Amino acid sequence: MQGIWTTQRIRAAEDLLLARTPDGELMRRASFGLAAQIAGLLAEETGGVSGRRVVLLVGSGNNGGDALWAGVFLRRRGVAVAAVLLNPEKAHPAGLAALRRSGGLVVSVVDSPQWIARADVVVDGIVGISARGPLRPEAAKLVAQVEAPVVAVDLPSGVDPDTGAVEGPHVTAARTVTFGALKPVHALAPQECGEVVLVDIGLRPWLEEPDLQRLELADVAEVWPIPGPEDDKYTQGVVGIAAGSATYPGAAVLASGSAVRATAGMVRYAGHAADVVRSRWPEIVATGSVTDAGRVQAWVVGPGIGTGGEGREILRHILGQGVPVCADADATTIIAHTPEVLDARDPDTPLVLTPHAGEYERLMGRRPGTDRVAAARDAAKKYDAVVLLKGHCTVIAAPDGRVAVNTPRGSWLATAGSGDVLTGLVGSLLAARLDPWLAAAAAAQVHSLAGALAAEEVPTSASGLVDAIPAALRLIRAASR
C-alpha cells in the first residue's frame, strides 16, 4: 500500500523533523532531489542539460525557496536559470541570495514573457501545501504564457493539496516532484500532476498511519483469490448475480461475465435474462428468480433490475440472506428512495455501495462536491457500508474510516456497461471472503487496469473490458513476482 497524508499531518511531521535537523537541511534535501528531476526532464526533452534554459516561477513561501535552491544546483550543471519573483520582497531570502551568487538571473514580471517563451522547462514554485484556491491573477497570467513542460514543486499550484479540486486557473505539470510523502492531490488530481516523483527527505518515521491509501499491484496480487490444489468451485466462493431484464440483458451479461473472468469460483445468475446469460456464459448456473437461486457466499444486485416493486422485492430478499452484498445501479436508487428496504439487512452483513455522482446525490441529498474523500466517508458512515464513489478517481471509504483512492489510467472507463463489470468484480471478491473495503479497492484497481489494456484496442467497449480481465490479472501477478 502506498500511504497518502493530508497536509495537516505532513506539517505536524515536518515540525518534528525540522526540530531535529540543522537549519536549511530539509530544503537542501528537497531542492537537490528537485534539481535532479528538472535535469532529467531537460535531458529527455532536449537531449542535454548544460546550456539549456530553465525559468523558475517563484512565490513567496518555501515552495518558491525550493525552486530557487534547485536553480542553484542547476547552475552548477551549466543550466541558464532565470527566476521570476511574484512577490520580490517576500521571496525566500537565502535561496534568492544563493541563486544570485551562482549566476542565476532575476527577471521582473514585466520582462518575463520573453524568458518564458524561450524556456526548455518551467519550474512551478508558486505555492505549495500552505496555499488554497486557484492561482491569483498575476500568477495565472504568467502560467498562461507557458508552453514548455512544467515541473511542479511539491504540487501543481492552484490545485487544492487536500482534495485535488481545481476551481480556477492552475498549473498543469508534466512532472510533480514532491517531498517526504504523497499528499491527496497526487492521487486525486493525476491529470494536473503528470508523473509524480517522491523525494525522500527523512519524513516517513515522523508520520503516523496514512489518511488515505492506494493499492499497489503487489497488494492486489496478494489478496486476489488464486485457486490452490485443495480448492474446488465451492471453496473459491459462489457469487450470485441479480441483474438485467429480458429487454435489457446487457447488464446481466456483463456483470456475470466479469465475475466468471475474475476468479475460479462459481457464478449463479438469477433474473429475467437467464437464457441470454446461459448462452453467453455456459459455465453459469442461471435461474429465473432470486428465490430459487441456491446458496451463494455473496450477492451482486442492481444493474438493470429496475427501480419498481419487483426490484425492491429482489433487493429485500437478497439483503436478508446474511451474506455480503454489493448493491449497484438500480439497487442504489431503490435504497435512496425507499431506505426501509435496508431493514431487511442484518447489521453484521457487509454492504458495498457503488454510486456515481448522480446516485450519490440521491443517497445523500447533495452532490459529492469537491472533497470527494469526505463525501465517500460521510456516505459510508450514514449507510454503515463500504462506499465506492465512482468518478475520474474512484474513492473507496469504509465505515471504520479507511479510505482508498484508485488513480485512473486514462479516462475511457466512462463507457456504458463499465459499472456492471466493476460490480461483478466486487461481487466475486466478496464471495471469496475478502474484507469488503479491500474487495472494492482491489476490484477498482483491476477494473482500471483491464480498462487500460482494453483501450489498446480502440474503440473499446464494456465487453472488451470483460475480455481484458484475465490479462490484467496476469499482469498483476507478474508485477508482484
Ligand X SMILES: NC(=O)C1=CN([C@@H]2O[C@H](COP(=O)(O)OP(=O)(O)OC[C@H]3O[C@@H](n4cnc5c(N)ncnc54)[C@H](O)[C@@H]3O)[C@@H](O)[C@H]2O)[C@@H](O)CC1
- 136 in contact with ligand X (CB under 6 A): yes
429 interface partner picked from ligand X, K ion, none, CB below 5 to 8 A per type:
none
User: Are β-strands 195-199 and 175-179 bridged in parallel, bridged antiparallel, or unpaired?
Assistant: parallel
We find the least distance from the C-beta atom of residue 124 to K ion, in angstroms, to be: 4
Cross-strand pairs, 2: 214
Which stretches of the chain bind K ion, using CB under 5 A? 63, 124, 152-153, 157
When asked if residue 129 is in the footprint of ligand X (CB under 6 A), the reply is yes
The length of the chain, given as a count of residues: 481
- By beta-carbon proximity to K ion, the closer residue of 57 and 305 is 57
387 binds ligand X (CB under 6 A): no
124 binds, among K ion, ligand X, none (CB under 5 to 8 A by kind): K ion
> Does 135 contact ligand X by CB under 6 A?
yes
Q: What angle do CA 246, 247, 250 make, to 5 degrees?
A: 85
Tell me whether strands 53-58 and 195-199 are parallel, antiparallel or unpaired.
unpaired
Residue 33 touches ligand X, criterion: CB under 6 A: no
Among 8, 114, 130, 338, which residue interacts with ligand X (rule: CB under 6 A)?
130
Count of residues engaged in binding ligand X, rule: CB under 6 A? 24
Task: Single out the residue of 139, 215, 242, 446 in contact with ligand X (rule: CB under 6 A).
Answer: 139
Shortest distance, CB of residue 142 to ligand X, whole angstroms?
11
Residues between 426 and 445 that touch ligand X (CB under 6 A): none
Q: Using DSSP bridges, classify how beta strands 80-85 and 53-58 pair: parallel, antiparallel or unpaired.
A: parallel
Nearer to ligand X, 116 or 153 (CB): 153
Residue among 34 and 387 whose Cβ is closer to K ion: 34
According to CB under 6 A, which one of 115, 179, 269, 299 is a site residue for ligand X?
A: 179
Q: Give min distance, CB of 301 to ligand X, in A.
A: 45
Select from 4, 42, 66, 307 the one that contacts ligand X (CB under 6 A).
Answer: 66
Question: For residues 98 and 472, what is the distance between their CA atoms, to the nearest angstrom?
Answer: 50
> Which amino acids are annotated as binding site, given as ranges?
62-66, 124, 128-134, 154, 157, 251, 304, 356, 390-394, 419-420
Among 62, 394, 407, 460, interactor with ligand X by CB under 6 A: 62
Site string for ligand X, 311-350 (x = CB under 6 A): ----------------------------------------
Closer CB to ligand X, 153 or 403, in the complex: 153
- Annotated binding-site ranges for AMP: 390-394, 419
Give the list of residues 6+ apart from residue 405 with CB closer than 8 angstroms, or none.
Answer: 4, 184, 187, 188, 212, 213, 214, 373, 393, 394, 395, 396
Work out how close the CB of 196 gets to ligand X at its nearest, in angstroms, rounded to a whole number.
14
Candidate ranges 129-137, 184-192, 270-278, 399-407; the one touching ligand X (CB under 6 A): 129-137
* Interface positions with ligand X (CB under 6 A): 14, 18, 26-27, 30, 59-63, 66, 127-131, 133, 135-136, 139, 153-154, 179, 201
